Amino acid sequence: MNTMTRKLATIREIEEIKPIPEADKICAYRVGGWWVVDTINKYDVNDLAIYCEVDSWIPHELAPFLSKGQEPREYNGVKGERLRTVRLRGQLSQGLLLPSTILNELGLWPLVGDPVDHNLTNQLNIQKWEPPIPSQLQGTMRGNFPHFIPKTDQERCQNLRKDIFDTHKDDVYEVTTKLDGSSMTVYVKDGEVHVCSRNIDLIETEGNTFWNTAREQNIIDTLLELSVEKGEEYAIQGELIGEGIQGNPEKLTGHKFYLFDIYSITVGRYLKADERYSILDTLNMNGASIEHVPIVEQGLRVAQAYDSIDELLEFAEGPSLNPQTKREGLVFKSWESDFSFKAISNSYLLKTKF
């Protein structure tokens, strides 16, 4: 999934309403796979409302009550607040519902075409909140992230109910542990190896953790050698984890890159799981020391094993790479197509400090 297409705020139908035990002023509304706690009787089933996902940065004017009477915070020059996962009277609440009437007030109504799923992210000036980048990861820019390689991203399962249980109901998946670090890409182009963070191509500088780790695990030379040997240019993508990154939940000493994807730049596609394992073996036989993210299940028929998004989210709970650590969640990749998604552990979201 590309960040450009990311829908953080969309018009949705309220699909289900459930009471919260011993709460008479609030209830839970369901849109897709998300539950949002709000005032009772505010919406009816089938009503249209604007749904904003967790990690949206909401401009203050849109929802001043989020600042709870305090001075709003600021992100990329916009005053507002970040939407987090919370528990209210024991009920999980993720994201924000806004009445569709505000579109009138903002002069955005009527919309052209079907309002359901209409993406309002840009019109409402909503951004995706990203954690601050530690200085050891910032580095010096060599260029933009290359346009010929997809950026790593995964859509949340809560937005893909129909796709998972209908369109892809017969799909078989590889399920891996989602590691909470920083996205890293190493690729070969025209006989040169590049190292990228999530958004930029980096110059090799002293003290840059992406480059240092790539050298330590001998990724640079082995990837170059492989592309010469195969006559094909590859990008390997994974998660850099360790000290100073996202609070180092795995309690690692130093840093380590864990691979989760290989993209053939020459052919313009992601390798299938078995092709990926075989390329990884070759790199390691040639002297690299690269581990794959942990594989939790291989060949899982998700739509048969689980009946709902809530059940999938239960499955996302569990130990991480470090068995003492709760995992951030799971990533599901279909064997049949490029379809993939993430299921984030709700208990992880509730406890994480970021």
Is residue 107 left, alpha or beta, with left meaning phi > 0 and alpha meaning psi from -120 to 50? Answer: left
Closest contact distance (angstroms) between CB of 62 and ligand AMP is 23
x/- map, 76-95, ligand AMP, by CB under 6 A: --------------------
Closest contact distance (angstroms) between CB of 158 and ligand AMP is 12
x/- map, 155-184, ligand AMP, by CB under 6 A: ---------------------xxxx---x-
Nearest to 282 by CA among 259, 306, 305: 259
x/- map, 127-156, ligand AMP, by CB under 6 A: -------------------------xxx--
Q: Is 293 in the site for ligand AMP (CB under 6 A)?
A: yes
**Tokens read off for 140:** 């010096």
Q: Is 318 helix (H, G, I), strand (E, B) or coil?
A: coil
Closest contact distance (angstroms) between CB of 342 and ligand AMP is 6
Sequential DSSP letters for 193-208: EEEE-SSEEE---TT-
Compute the residue count for the chain. Answer: 354
CA distance 199 to 172: 31
| 219 alpha-carbon distance from chain centroid | 25
Q: Is 197 in the site for ligand AMP (CB under 6 A)?
A: no
Q: How many residues bind ligand AMP (CB under 6 A)?
A: 13
Q: Is 255 in the site for ligand AMP (CB under 6 A)?
A: no
Q: Is 331 in the site for ligand AMP (CB under 6 A)?
A: yes
In the complex with ligand AMP, the residue whose CB is nearer, 31 or 321, is: 321
| 291 alpha-carbon distance from chain centroid | 21
In the complex with ligand AMP, the residue whose CB is nearer, 100 or 340, is: 340
What's the Cα-to-Cα distance from 260 to each of 30, 232, 332, rounded to whole Å? Answer: 32, 19, 11
Q: With the C-alpha atoms ordered 64, 69, 70, 71, is the resulting torsion angle positive or negative?
A: positive
Q: Are 248 and 182 in contact (CB under 8 A)?
A: no
Q: Is 249 helix (H, G, I), strand (E, B) or coil?
A: coil
Q: Is 321 in the site for ligand AMP (CB under 6 A)?
A: no
Position among 239, 263, 334, 346 found at the interface with ligand AMP (CB under 6 A):
239
Q: Is 260 in the site for ligand AMP (CB under 6 A)?
A: yes
In the complex with ligand AMP, the residue whose CB is nearer, 85 or 176, is: 176
Judged by the rule CB under 6 A, the positions of this chain that interact with ligand AMP are 152-154, 176-179, 183, 239, 260, 293, 331, 342
